[in-house]
Structure 1
Amino acid sequence: MSEAPPPDVAAADVPAARPSATPLPQLTSLVPPWPGGPLPVRGGEVFVRTTPWTGPIDGPDDEAPRERALYVHGLGGASTNWTDLAALLSVRFDGWALDLPGFGRSQPPPRGRYSIRGHVRAVIDVLEHVIAQPGPAQGRPVHLLGNSLGGLASLLVASRRPDLVATLTLVSPAMPVYRVPPAFSRALLLLLVPGIPSLAARRMGGITPEESVRAMIRMCFGEPGRVPPERVEQAVQEMRERSEQPWADHALTRSMRGLITSYLRVGAANAWRAARTLQAPTLVLWGARDKLVDPSMAPRLASVVPDARLAILDRVGHVAMLEAPEETARAVLGMVEETAACREPHAAVDTPRSVRR
């Protein structure tokens, strides 16, 4: 019996995300990657970047909200995927963004096991570190944001450790599906066969960083032609650095295998069942041109999460935080502000139906 909900849920059947009107910084130039460093986790360490809180841009900092957020990238991504969004959300959040084990500047996991469970453990360890840091919001749950593979891991974290998560934002999360997306080659299913991930990694090693980045942009972006040349060059440089790591291609292929095998889990380990248990207010955000995870999954997921709101962004693909950082930031802040308002006595918040922007 399938754990997934029926496929006939319309966007109009779930609550809409309410965009925030909070003034945001103007990203008029290329934002450089935020600084970071290694952080110990179970069995090793991961690289974590930090984005400092800036406070409101149109008023005093006194008594302005100052909370904490953790950003989790997707398959083949890195903490730098969140550079622009973290800059925008710094009006409210101190931000942390990790490189999952084997990605970005993080070391590979022990014994090279790239499982969803391992990524979940790493996120939990980083969350516990973030919560323990001294200063404003110490000891309080963190706003957790994840994209694709990182979205799936974040959902499972929020289900297992609700005490760590204030709100949850899922940007095109890699929820279990039982058919191959059109953008994928069916050869990816061979990654389930023992020995094939190693062969695939060797073949990927022959692809240049430039070819890899341009292929990723075509697959992940709704409008590839609008990606600024500076961003392309930044991504190419990052890919060059990554290609120098001997484990880089293994991390990608074995994480893909771990993702596919996770889809076969049933019972409490299944992500669709976990979604029904979520306690945190949740934003489900999808690009209408997502080629990797079918946008029709968005209302289906929002319909099963107890306290969800939905935003579908036109002309956007799989990585909304990169393609539409301001729209994404406003959706996130809208949920956070709505949640804060609901905590106030006698607060009344309208709940519009789903919105398409």
Structure 2
Amino acid sequence: MSTSATTRSPVTHVPLSDALLPPVDGSTPPWPGGDETSGGVTLHVRRTPGPPDAESTAVYLHGLGGSATNWTDLAGQLSGYVPGIAVDLPGFGRTEPPDGFDYSMPAHADTAARFIRGLGVGPVHLFGNSMGGAIAVLLAARHPDLVRTLTLISPAMPDLRPFTSRMSDPRLPLAFLPLVGPAVRRRLAQEDVETRVMRLLRLCFAEPDRVPESRRQEAAREFEEREKLVWANPALARSTFGLFRTWLVPRSRSLWTLAPRIEAPALVVWGTADKLVTVRKAPRTARLLPRGRLLVLPRTGHVAQMERPGTVARAVLGMWEEVAAGRW
């Protein structure tokens, strides 16, 4: 493992906690889930138990095409310290989108903010991966009172440079274009589930062959479940457009402009082998966050919380310890 940091702080490393954590073998089943209404918003959530005297709660926001199950292992690692709530954002996982939902990133952020505020648990430790990271940036900038700390894992910060060369399947970028996209998505959907699972793993993981069989089976079941949901594919396509539109807004509303307004201590985690959101954006992201530090992980792809949950958990606990000691 290697670490690096780019930050205004004179500290040039990310502290890793020496706390004892449970082993990670990929066999932990998804945490129990159910629909919950909070702040007038209904989401499907998976709750991780935590100590009854915990001072805060962790809230986890998944990426594009993901779900609350993307946080199973990391939430388990941190469950000895905080209870966790992993949400399925509208149109993803098992959350049915409300009528008229526009799938913009501000709409997703507003939904998550309303849900968190309705919980009445005070400021939370907010986590976001990929699209969920972009949503977390918006939420933290607009609702600072809701966020105790911020952990961004490969957040989808604006980048208009071509990235198709990093994708193992050249059809994937075409799947979200306005005219040809629906036809491409239909052809991809006709492939067997195992083929689609392996494509997803090769795209998101640096070492897909090391993903446990239990996790592959979970991904296959999720593919099969989403095929039965009439709103799943439209939600994916429209959220993809919503994310791209966020990259094209005027500078005054750009995520790059919002990041310096975030007051919370922030940890940015990136894998060097990320095929979806280039690690080249990592230093700038951490530098713009006033209290941001950067952890770069080798041999790690787009979902570090799934590929290196133990290392990410130690970095998060290290941040929490440093914040409590007034050193972050």
- TM-score of the two chains, using structure 2 as the length reference: 0.90
**Does 2:23 correspond to 1:26?**
yes
Q: Name whichever of 141-150 and 42-51 sits farther off.
A: 42-51
**Does 2:66 correspond to 1:77?**
yes
Instruction: Report the counterpart of residue 243 of structure 1 in structure 2.
Output: 227
Closer/same/farther in 2, CA of residues 82 and 117 from structure 1, 3 Å limit: same
Closer/same/farther in 2, CA of residues 201 and 225 from structure 1, 3 Å limit: closer
- Deviation for aligned residue 1:210: 2.1
Instruction: Report the counterpart of residue 38 of structure 1 in structure 2.
Output: 35
Distance in 2 of aligned mates of 1:293 and 1:151: 11
The answer (yes or no) to whether the contact 1:88–1:326 under 8 Å persists in 2 is yes
**Does 2:13 correspond to 1:16?**
yes
Instruction: Report the counterpart of residue 217 of structure 1 in structure 2.
Output: 201
Distance in 1 of aligned mates of 2:285 and 2:43: 30
Distance in 1 of aligned mates of 2:92 and 2:67: 6
Instruction: Report the counterpart of residue 166 of structure 2 in structure 1.
Output: 183
Instruction: Report the counterpart of residue 96 of structure 1 in structure 2.
Output: 85
State how 1:287-298 maps to structure 2 within 5 Å: 287-298=271-282
Instruction: Report the counterpart of residue 166 of structure 1 in structure 2.
Output: 148
In the TM superposition, what whole-angstrom CA distance separates every residue of 1:302-341 from its partner, at most 9, and x where no partner exists? 1111001110111110000000000000111111111111
Match of 2:308 among 324, 327, 331: 324
What SS is found at the alignment partner of 1:93?
coil
Closer/same/farther in 2, CA of residues 214 and 261 from structure 1, 3 Å limit: same
Q: Name whichever of 203-212 and 282-291 sits farther off.
A: 203-212
The answer (yes or no) to whether the contact 1:180–1:186 under 8 Å persists in 2 is no
Number of residue pairs matched by the alignment: 319
Instruction: Report the counterpart of residue 320 of structure 2 in structure 1.
Output: 336
- Deviation for aligned residue 1:72: 0.4
Instruction: Report the counterpart of residue 53 of structure 1 in structure 2.
Output: 50
What SS is found at the alignment partner of 1:67?
coil
Closer/same/farther in 2, CA of residues 42 and 166 from structure 1, 3 Å limit: closer
- Deviation for aligned residue 1:54: 4.5
Closer/same/farther in 2, CA of residues 82 and 333 from structure 1, 3 Å limit: same
The answer (yes or no) to whether the contact 2:50–2:84 under 8 Å persists in 1 is yes
In the TM superposition, what whole-angstrom CA distance separates every residue of 1:16-70 from its partner, at most 9, and x where no partner exists? 3211111112234611111121123678622111001048xxxxxxxx7542110
Distance in 2 of aligned mates of 1:128 and 1:159: 15
Report the AA paired with residue 148 of structure 1: S
Closer/same/farther in 2, CA of residues 187 and 326 from structure 1, 3 Å limit: closer
Give identity over the alignment, percent: 43
Distance in 2 of aligned mates of 1:125 and 1:200: 36
What SS is found at the alignment partner of 1:143?
strand
Instruction: Report the counterpart of residue 154 of structure 1 in structure 2.
Output: 136
The answer (yes or no) to whether the contact 1:79–1:98 under 8 Å persists in 2 is yes
Closer/same/farther in 2, CA of residues 259 and 164 from structure 1, 3 Å limit: same
In the TM superposition, what whole-angstrom CA distance separates every residue of 1:262-298 from its partner, at most 9, and x where no partner exists? 1001244210000111100000000111111111111
Match of 2:191 among 207, 223, 235: 207
Report the AA paired with residue 89 of structure 2: L
Match of 1:279 among 263, 278, 281: 263
CA RMSD of aligned residues (A): 2.3
Closer/same/farther in 2, CA of residues 69 and 206 from structure 1, 3 Å limit: same
- TM-score of the two chains, using structure 1 as the length reference: 0.83
Distance in 1 of aligned mates of 2:33 and 2:171: 37
The answer (yes or no) to whether the contact 1:82–1:97 under 8 Å persists in 2 is yes
Higher-Rg structure is 1
What SS is found at the alignment partner of 2:166?
coil
Report the AA paired with residue 188 of structure 1: P
- Deviation for aligned residue 1:154: 0.4
Closer/same/farther in 2, CA of residues 12 and 245 from structure 1, 3 Å limit: closer
What SS is found at the alignment partner of 1:47?
strand
- Deviation for aligned residue 1:255: 1.2
Distance in 2 of aligned mates of 1:145 and 1:122: 15
Instruction: Report the counterpart of residue 261 of structure 1 in structure 2.
Output: 245
The answer (yes or no) to whether the contact 1:53–1:66 under 8 Å persists in 2 is no
**Which residues of structure 1 form unaligned runs of 5+?**
1-10, 56-63, 133-137, 343-348, 352-357
Closer/same/farther in 2, CA of residues 305 and 187 from structure 1, 3 Å limit: same
Report the AA paired with residue 158 of structure 1: A
